[in-house]
Amino acid sequence: MRTLNQCKPNETVQVTKINGSGAVKRRIMDMGVTKGVEIFVRKIAPLGDPMELNIRGYELSLRKADAAIIEVR
Amino acid sequence: MEIKIALAGNPNSGKTTLFNTLTGSRQRVGNWPGVTVEKKEGTVKNDHDLLIQDLPGIYSLSPYSLEEVVSRTYLVHERPDVILNIVDATNIERNLYLTTQLLELDIPVIVALNMMDVVEDQIDPKKLSEQLHVPVVEISALKNKGIDELLVQIKKVSTKKGQQFLPFTEDVEASVSFVEKLLPHLECPRWYAIKVLERDERVDEEMNFSHDIKKEISCQIDHLEEIYDDDTESLITNERYAQIAQIIAKAVKKSKGKHALTLSDKIDKVVTNRILALPIFILIMYCVYTIAMGSTPISIGTMGTGWANDVLFGEWIPGAVDSMIGALHLNPILGSLIQDGIVAGVGATLGFVPQILVLFIFLSILEDCGYMARVAFIMDRLFRKFGLSGKSFIPLLVATGCGVPGIMASRTIEQDRDRKMTIMTTGFIPCGAKMPIIGLFAGAIFGNSSLVATSAFVIGIAAVIITGIMLKKFKAFAGEPAPFVMELPVYHMPSIHNVLHSTWERGWSFIKRAGTLILLSSIVLWFLQSFGFVNGAFTLVEDNNHSLLASIGNAVSWIFYPLGWVGDMAWKATVATFTGLIAKEEVVNTFGVLYNHAGELSEAGDEIWALVAADFSAVTAYSFMIFNLLCAPCFAAMGAIKREMNNPKWTLLSIGYMCGFAYVCAMIVYQIGGLLLGEVSFNVFTIIAIVLLAGMIYLLFRKGYQPESEAISTRELKFRTSKS
């Protein structure tokens, strides 16, 4: 099992599961990170965190700590 | 007849531009009751019957952010006649997510499809309208296109009753209608039913169901969670995105290849590049800073402020006021009140207006074009370490010029606690007005060493970091976990209208403050400085040493005894600290007056260096400097704190914290520093200082309050128990 924070730039992955609950999970899902959606890892910020993702046609920035609850394939 | 329109949409969807286009200058800006979320209302330019309520930019109607709660409370309880939903055509999938929720409120919805000129014919508005069951109007908020058509449609829609919604899949739909039947009579039962299924705590509280109904609802929730093997909140989110996928399939043609690089992506390839990002960022900030607040031939802001201080408030207005006082034969006391109190006090603040306006123009441009989000992206890692956000960098940078616009710049930080923390720490940065204080002591005691000014910056930055680390461990700041989930909007040309509008809004709020709070405090301080008891009689005093202010200074100077303000300098230092509250540059002027220097004083007070050197030692000078650099800022900055906090408790807490922190730091430096240098003998305050230092170190390194794991575990538990 791999989580999104382990992905490298220029990788395209598919979300299989989102762990956790409450505000963080809801916020991430509200932004369109749902089961089955495709995510393209655009880059990592110069200081190593957060990540920049391309999802549903827009750019989303997510901290690695929050990306860790997203399981991908 | 009046029509109430709620304007809703995602951040960066062009909502502000549309609002400005629709209302022009007929806007009222305030705050939503009890929170720091800005509230804007206005009437349509050529039709004053159309009232527009601008809702905060939101992605969803979840119960987790202030903006979302404010919006949904308004929609559900105030029931506007029409919801005008602006949808960014370039980012339609995620924008429609909010639309699916707005359709459930049983209020007629109209979609304004913005930036259609960018996507050209990829979206079919007719099909989109059929799918959503709402009128869809193509507009370009920036180019002022489609606005008339939008107004026509709004009027048509406003006579409609209710709104058709988008159905979920069968199982979910069955549960929704089941719960709907359990609800009391409500205006938007479907919305409530869905929220109840999502276990929305706010709605649960509002409904206050009986035990039996609760049981039935929880049965339904368990049933759904069993089928979908996910919590209801997530499965409804999934349902919504599934609805959107169907709509997109029918109404949107996908033309571009996947992940094709747009212009915006190309800009980002350079601007947020691993190697180039930081140098570019530093260069941009340097340019902004130099033009607004530097002292080079291109520093328009500084030139404007110099002119305002030296000419406008230095010669013209005082001159005009002088001749007016002469012509009207005003009482000299009244004359002094107007000239020395009001003109001097308010003028000192208004002098900053040119710098502030130039600064705000640049900040508005950076915000409007989308670079501000990149600043947060680049700086987040660094600032998160001490409880701040990536966006805190801007306020702190601006504060090196003046704390007031710095504090006001914190408004772009979305997360409530990050914003509060930024407001609390911004005042620690040595601003331009604190420089003369540093100059005075550097010259008088440290032989003009440039290390003194450097140390002042180090102290200021250290205060920010220490405060951040200490406070983020407290429950009030650890609070609810605020995920840093941020959109990096597509770059676009800033709209001149937007930039000027937001610059003016902030500038005006600064000027208004000068007219109220600062006016009042200037009058009070003038009174305290001009009157006093001489030979037992209350009278106007010639010699400042007899003023009420001096008496107060004398009476309370014992407070600063542990800071080493003893002997002859104690009351002078105390009084100077008090006058520093008007404006920090007053500190040096006050020393000039108190050391009986006649005539003009240079900015760093060279003339009184010898006298200051006789009264202060190196350690007391540092204790005084540290206290004045870190304690409560000037009245203007306190006013800014009050406005941005929008809460009396937090305002007092911030100012109190700053004073307390300044006191503790000054005391530690004097007592322990003095002991090490052999200047202070071991006394009871040395012990207190050591205890305080130890306490501070403990607060820095203790394990903080950790809500995240706890919050998750209770929710998880609930989920698991309800499943088992």
d(C-alpha B410, C-alpha B122), whole Å: 38
Single out the residue in B251, B266, B286 at which a domain terminates.
Answer: B251
Q: pLDDT, tens digit, for every residue of B182-236?
A: 998 888 999 999 999 999 999 999 998 999 999 999 999 999 999 998 899 999 9
Mutate to test the interface with A, among B202, B230, B377, B721 (most CBs of A within 10 A): B377
Count of Cβ atoms closer than 10 Å to residue B285 Cβ: 17
* Phi-psi label, residue B109: left if phi above 0, alpha if psi -120 to 50, beta otherwise: beta
* Residue B724: pLDDT over 50: no
* Residue B553: pLDDT over 90: no
Mean pLDDT score, B654-666: 95
What is the four-CA torsion angle of B712, B715, B716, B720, rounded to 10 degrees? 170
Report residue A10 as tokens: 């220029």
* Residue B713: pLDDT over 50: no
Where residue A15 sits, what CATH number does that domain have? 2.30.30.90
- What DSSP line would sit under B30-48, residue for residue? EE-TTSS-EEEEEEETTEE
Query: For tokens 């030692």, what's the residue?
Result: B617
d(C-alpha B379, C-alpha B541), whole Å: 54
Report residue B67 as tokens: 């903006």
The reply to whether B131 and B180 lie within a common domain is no
The total number of residues shown for chain B amounts to 724
Q: If you measure CA to CA, which chain B residue comes closest to A34?
A: B238
* Residue B493: pLDDT over 90: no
pLDDT at B387: 81
* Residue B31: pLDDT over 80: no
* Phi-psi label, residue B169: left if phi above 0, alpha if psi -120 to 50, beta otherwise: beta
The reply to whether B183 and B84 lie within a common domain is no
pLDDT at B482: 63
Q: From the CA of B377, how many Å to the nearest CA of chain A?
A: 7
d(C-alpha B545, C-alpha B549), whole Å: 8
Task: Give the rounded distance of the alpha carbon of B657 from its chain centre.
Answer: 18
The answer to whether residue B91 sits within a structural domain is yes
* B514 touches B635 (CB < 8 A): no
- What DSSP line would sit under B540-577, residue for residue? E-SSGGGBHHHHHHHHHGGGGGGGT--TTHHHHHHHHH
The reply to whether B39 and B130 lie within a common domain is yes
The answer to whether residue B439 sits within a structural domain is no
What is the four-CA torsion angle of B656, B659, B662, B667, rounded to 10 degrees? -100
Which residues in A lie closer than 8 A to residue B231 (C-beta atoms)?
21
pLDDT at B634: 86
Q: pLDDT, tens digit, for every residue of B113-150?
A: 998 888 877 899 999 999 999 999 999 988 889 999 99
CA B657 to each of CA B184, B367, B663: distance values in angstroms, whole numbers, following the listed order: 48, 31, 10
The answer to whether residue B73 sits within a structural domain is yes
The answer to whether residue B453 sits within a structural domain is no
Single out the residue in B251, B267, B300 at which a domain terminates.
Answer: B251
Q: What percentage of chain A exceeds 90 in pLDDT?
A: 84
pLDDT at B707: 53
Mean pLDDT score, B593-611: 75
- Residue A17's DSSP bridge partners are A71
Where residue B57 sits, what CATH number does that domain have? 3.40.50.300
Interface residue B538 vs chain A (CB under 8 A) = no
A54–B259 CB contact, under 8 Å: yes
Top pLDDT among B298 and B106 is at B106
Mutate to test the interface with B, among A30, A31, A47 (most CBs of B within 10 A): A30
Residue A28: its H or E element:
helix A22-30
The answer to whether residue B78 sits within a structural domain is yes
d(C-alpha B576, C-alpha B574), whole Å: 5
Query: Which domain does A56 fall in, by range?
Result: 2-72
- What DSSP line would sit under B62-105, residue for residue? -SSSHHHHHHHHIIIII--SEEEEEEEGGGHHHHHHHHHHHGGG
Q: Please, what sign has the CA dihedral across residues B465, B470, B473, B479?
A: negative
* B547 touches B531 (CB < 8 A): yes
* B217: nearest Cα among B273, B176, B262, B159: B176
Mean pLDDT score, B660-666: 96
* Residue B444: pLDDT over 80: yes
Mean pLDDT score, B95-116: 95
The C-alpha angle with vertex B184 and arms to B181 and B190, in degrees rounded to 5, equals 55
Q: Please, what sign has the CA dihedral across residues B363, B368, B374, B377?
A: positive
Q: Which residues of B682-692 are buried (b: 16+ CB within 10 A; e: fewer)?
A: eeebbeebeeb
The reply to whether B154 and B201 lie within a common domain is no
d(C-alpha A50, C-alpha A66), whole Å: 9
The reply to whether B151 and B18 lie within a common domain is yes
Top pLDDT among B344 and B580 is at B580
Q: What percentage of chain B exceeds 90 in pLDDT?
A: 42
The reply to whether B137 and B181 lie within a common domain is no
- Residue B29's DSSP bridge partners are B40
The reply to whether B177 and B109 lie within a common domain is no
* B114 touches B128 (CB < 8 A): no
Please tell me the total count of domains within chain A.
Answer: 1
Mean pLDDT score, B537-544: 79
pLDDT at B133: 95
Residue B711: its H or E element:
helix B707-723
Which among B233, B377, B482 has the least Cβ separation from residue A45? B377
* Residue B723: pLDDT over 70: no
* Residue B453: pLDDT over 90: no
The answer to whether residue B113 sits within a structural domain is yes
Interface residue B382 vs chain A (CB under 8 A) = yes
Residue B577: which residues within 8 A CB-CB, separation 6 or more? Answer: B587, B627, B628, B631
Residue A50: cis peptide before it, omega within 30 degrees of 0: yes
Report residue B160 as tokens: 């409609």
Query: Which domain does B234 fall in, by range?
Result: 170-251
Interface of B with A in 60-119 (CB under 8 A): 60, 62, 64-65, 90-94, 97
Q: Tell me the pLDDT band of B367, cut-offs 50, 70 and 90.
A: confident
Q: Where are the alpha helices (DSSP H) in B542-673?
A: 548-556, 569-579, 586-594, 609-615, 618-630, 635-645, 648-668
The answer to whether residue B669 sits within a structural domain is no
The answer to whether residue B482 sits within a structural domain is no
Q: From the CA of A39, how many Å to the nearest CA of chain B?
A: 10
Top pLDDT among B35 and B255 is at B35
* B458 touches B447 (CB < 8 A): no
Where residue B201 sits, what CATH number does that domain have? 1.10.287.1770
Q: pLDDT, tens digit, for every residue of A25-54?
A: 999 999 999 999 999 999 999 999 899 999
Interface of B with A in 226-265 (CB under 8 A): 230-231, 233-234, 237-238, 241, 258-259, 265
- What DSSP line would sit under B368-427, residue for residue? HHTHHHHHHHHHHHHHHTTT--GGGHHHHHHHTT-HHHHHHHGGG--SHHHHHHHHHHHT
* B175 touches B224 (CB < 8 A): yes
* B391: nearest Cα among B357, B416, B358: B416
The reply to whether B80 and B197 lie within a common domain is no
One-letter identity of residue B570: A
B269-278 LR contacts (CB < 8 Å, sep 24+): B271/B371, B271/B374, B272/A43, B272/A45, B272/A46, B272/A52, B272/B374, B272/B377, B272/B378, B273/A46, B274/A43, B274/A44, B274/A46, B275/A46, B277/A45, B277/A46, B277/B378, B278/A46, B278/B378
Single out the residue in B230, B251, B272 at which a domain terminates.
Answer: B251
Please tell me the total count of domains within chain B.
Answer: 2
pLDDT at B600: 65
d(C-alpha A4, C-alpha A10), whole Å: 13
The reply to whether B122 and B181 lie within a common domain is no
Which residues in B lie closer than 8 A to residue A31 (C-beta atoms)?
59, 94, 485, 487
d(C-alpha B395, C-alpha B582), whole Å: 21
Residue B664: which residues within 8 A CB-CB, separation 6 or more? Answer: B692, B696
d(C-alpha B175, C-alpha B198), whole Å: 11
Mutate to test the interface with A, among B228, B484, B490, B714 (most CBs of A within 10 A): B484
* B93: nearest Cα among A41, A14, A56: A56
* Residue B609: pLDDT over 70: yes
* Residue B67: pLDDT over 80: yes
d(C-alpha B107, C-alpha B187), whole Å: 10
Q: pLDDT, tens digit, for every residue of B142-174?
A: 888 999 999 999 999 999 888 999 999 999 999
Q: What percentage of chain B exceeds 70 in pLDDT?
A: 94
Residue A15: its H or E element:
strand A12-18
The reply to whether B18 and B147 lie within a common domain is yes
Q: What is the mean pLDDT of chain B?
A: 86
Q: ipTM, 2 decimals?
A: 0.96
Q: pLDDT, tens digit, for every residue of B464-492?
A: 999 999 988 887 776 555 667 889 998 98
d(C-alpha B239, C-alpha B202), whole Å: 22
By DSSP bridging, strand B47-54 and strand B3-9 are parallel
* B702: nearest Cα among B474, B487, B485: B474
Q: Tell me the pLDDT band of B66, cut-offs 50, 70 and 90.
A: confident
